[in-house]
Structure 1
């Protein structure tokens, strides 16, 4: 029989069937145990009560640890399933790239049974059933070529119909399998894989990053070069659309190497054909790549500046081409390439005169402003090309953004003029030496300039009044609503 002893407390009791009597015995409560003999001194009553409370708290903590703590197996299973719960489509946040990659590896290594478990755990999202997900994932991972093609078509349908299923499909590892299908010799399989990847990349930077990690940026340039035949134009356009979607990663911190992608893009832009969907898609991809300053040297060395300057003259492509030039001109290598291109002043002159393309006008003035900044030589070239009167016209009649940029550029030209005039101040020949004919010509030219400026000022005032009236009308309509 166990014996528990404390100072001046002796408890002798059979081993209790329940831990409660033992708890009371250890806590030093003599009235709860039959047969216990207690002899407490009144002087030590307060100390004994404090000791009982401390022993009771200690024993309660011990009981909780023994009877109510989860088992190690349950804790482990909870940790193992944590990554799955964080990737459910019901969550608003996208899964992390590392977690998606780990789940994809788990699917491919675990076999078909693991696919079934993961699909059952995730279930369907919206109208997409778990059966369709399970069948498509199985066929992509473990099926033959025909089964993979059918699965790619099913993945395209699922991703197009349900946006939440895109994250689920990526977590189940379908992206590396689809990217590997781009190496197939069958054009139909390649197109199905490209179409499925386009739908999976729609609106998901995580899926685009997974595609880049799987090597899609190394496979697409080869496919684009192989499909430039007019009979395969549609397949080439689909590859370019996928490349455009993945290239938007350049706007994030994800590293996107432009070296492999640039040659086919610049070759298509340099072709003498008219502006079509192929060129516009290539321009969009080149613009995305130019947003990362580290790609500027590769873009310029590939000969893209000349192609962009030529496309800036086309109204359909001018906005994208000028926006790309605007990204390149802020770099030293891009600015140098534009300074050496003789077509740049004439192209900017033509684009700035487009009143029906205000966005292109703003971008052209921006490129001119950056070129003229801190470069007296470039300002001299611009003045010789006749852009200063056009800048004055834009400063009076352009959009608010174009006006601000044009006025800043004109300020630099004004400073150059004042400097040059100050250097020429010297004893001049007498005015009587000038012929009468020269005086008449100078007066007539100055009158024409003043008339032109008055016309532009009146037109600017009229446009400003129309703009103010239009804004007031819109505000009245909104307030009435």
Structure 2
């Protein structure tokens, strides 16, 4: 029995080896004499026999491929994923149905459903989209009615549920505003409420306004809704949400149509007061930049505000806050470009030294803006002197006294220019010494001649490229 088994095993091994040789070598014969002759034609047109099929099956050993197991695993995975998605969808349907008071659940379940939606939408973008498509937004906004007898948590929960639904989803942002959420939120604000009620509600509402105002289509709607005074009040009084309120105001200031609402609510004075607090100064200057660039009324209010020019000039010296320097330089550049009175106020406040320092040790953008302000102040002054000379000489010439008076005025202007030039040179020397000491540099490293080259930047454009 053992010999028979061994014989069958050897026979099978030999057969397998021969079949493999036949498959790999093109059907060569078992005879040694025939192996010397190429069998190209026979190998090319050799029909597939049962032995070749057996060899193919031997080569395709399922125990080595493992493909059947992988397919089964993929099928099980897809089945599990589909089942999980169906379960999640059913859960979403159940929670949204709890928000409707005329559904299977009563109104007492709505705060619980809002809390569940807040949890689901917090970190899941697909859940936000699905819940909105199932109709979660309108009933959540319906819970914001001021006449509803709900406790503080039941009022705050739908606010944060709406906030989470709007995260990173512009469609939901637009749908929330279109459903009337802005006026409902403002209706919840009651100044007579105690701080423990007013502050948490206002913080949740400010967070929603910040999120909703990020969408361009919502900016003008929120700006004209009466939300601006509430945001300014929150900026002034509530330390927990003042940065969010300021960022929301910045979003609204991007749209020029909101400038009037912002100015009437007193935003200029509020922003000037905020400058100096490093937590909010950068955003305050950014908002102010938007206002002065788009509104002449904003520039007028800023010019009339107490100490506005000195405050902005002081920011130019904040070497540890380069972003604030750039924004302050932009505001001053716009004001200097638009108004002679503002340029005169800047000169009286001593802006030249700060600008000279900024052209040397500021960021590239701050240097460009500071140089542009200095250029405008010099060119505008020369132009105004020329216009003043012409305005004085023309009537006098008409009266027959023109020639002598023109020569006299021209002589006076010449003397004035000489005096101004001397004063400028003295100021340059003093400022250079002070700047060198401040930067801990030898004075000879930055000679006045180099500074004159910096200030001699020429430009024929009256626009503000920086």
**For 1:253 and 1:443, how far apart are their aligned partners in 2?**
50
From 94, 106, 126, the counterpart of 1:144:
106
- Decide whether the 8 Å contact of 1:263 with 1:302 is kept in 2: yes
**For 1:360 and 1:211, how far apart are their aligned partners in 2?**
35
From 180, 185, 188, the counterpart of 1:220:
185
- Decide whether the 8 Å contact of 1:125 with 1:162 is kept in 2: no
SS of match in other structure, 1:160? coil
**For 1:128 and 1:386, how far apart are their aligned partners in 2?**
70
1:315 maps to: 278
1:303 maps to: 266
Query: How much does 1:225 deviate?
Result: 4.0
SS of match in other structure, 1:354? coil
Map residues 200-215 of structure 1 onto 2, 5 A cutoff.
200-215=165-180
Query: How much does 1:210 deviate?
Result: 0.7
2:373 maps to: 409
**For 1:396 and 1:253, how far apart are their aligned partners in 2?**
39
**For 2:430 and 2:251, how far apart are their aligned partners in 1?**
46
CA deviations 1:97-120 (Å, max 9, x no partner) are xxxxxxxxxxxxxxxxxxxxxxxx
1:7 maps to: none
Map residues 242-253 of structure 1 onto 2, 5 A cutoff.
242-250=208-216
**For 1:156 and 1:313, how far apart are their aligned partners in 2?**
37
**For 1:329 and 1:124, how far apart are their aligned partners in 2?**
58
TM-score (norm 2): 0.64
1:362 maps to: 326
**For 1:280 and 1:193, how far apart are their aligned partners in 2?**
22
In 2 relative to 1, CA 381–442 (structure 1 residues): closer, same or farther, beyond 3 Å? closer
2:127 maps to: 165
Query: How much does 1:350 deviate?
Result: 2.1
TM-score (norm 1): 0.62
Query: How much does 1:399 deviate?
Result: 1.0
In 2 relative to 1, CA 225–286 (structure 1 residues): closer, same or farther, beyond 3 Å? farther
- Decide whether the 8 Å contact of 2:229 with 2:265 is kept in 1: yes
Matched residues, number: 330
> Is 2:406 the counterpart of 1:426?
no
**For 1:257 and 1:405, how far apart are their aligned partners in 2?**
31
* RMSD (CA atoms): 3.4
**For 1:190 and 1:459, how far apart are their aligned partners in 2?**
65
**For 1:160 and 1:399, how far apart are their aligned partners in 2?**
40
CA deviations 1:305-327 (Å, max 9, x no partner) are 11111112221111111111111
CA deviations 1:157-211 (Å, max 9, x no partner) are 1111421111111111110100110113312211110111111010011101111
Query: How much does 1:452 deviate?
Result: 3.3
1:264 maps to: 230
Larger displacement relative to structure 2 (227-236 or 286-295): 227-236
From 189, 195, 209, the counterpart of 2:154:
189
In 2 relative to 1, CA 254–266 (structure 1 residues): closer, same or farther, beyond 3 Å? closer
Q: Which has the larger radius of gyration?
A: 2
**For 2:218 and 2:430, how far apart are their aligned partners in 1?**
53
**For 1:364 and 1:442, how far apart are their aligned partners in 2?**
24
**For 1:128 and 1:312, how far apart are their aligned partners in 2?**
53
CA deviations 1:257-285 (Å, max 9, x no partner) are 433201212223344x7xx2321111111
Query: How much does 1:144 deviate?
Result: 2.1
Query: How much does 1:448 deviate?
Result: 3.2
In 2 relative to 1, CA 224–364 (structure 1 residues): closer, same or farther, beyond 3 Å? farther
In 2 relative to 1, CA 443–338 (structure 1 residues): closer, same or farther, beyond 3 Å? closer
Query: How much does 1:421 deviate?
Result: 6.9
SS of match in other structure, 1:182? coil
**For 1:427 and 1:397, how far apart are their aligned partners in 2?**
38
2:204 maps to: 238
- Decide whether the 8 Å contact of 1:258 with 1:289 is kept in 2: no
In 2 relative to 1, CA 243–455 (structure 1 residues): closer, same or farther, beyond 3 Å? same
From 439, 444, 448, the counterpart of 2:430:
448
Q: Structure 1: where are the runs of 5+ without partners?
A: 1-122, 435-440, 463-481
2:364 maps to: 400
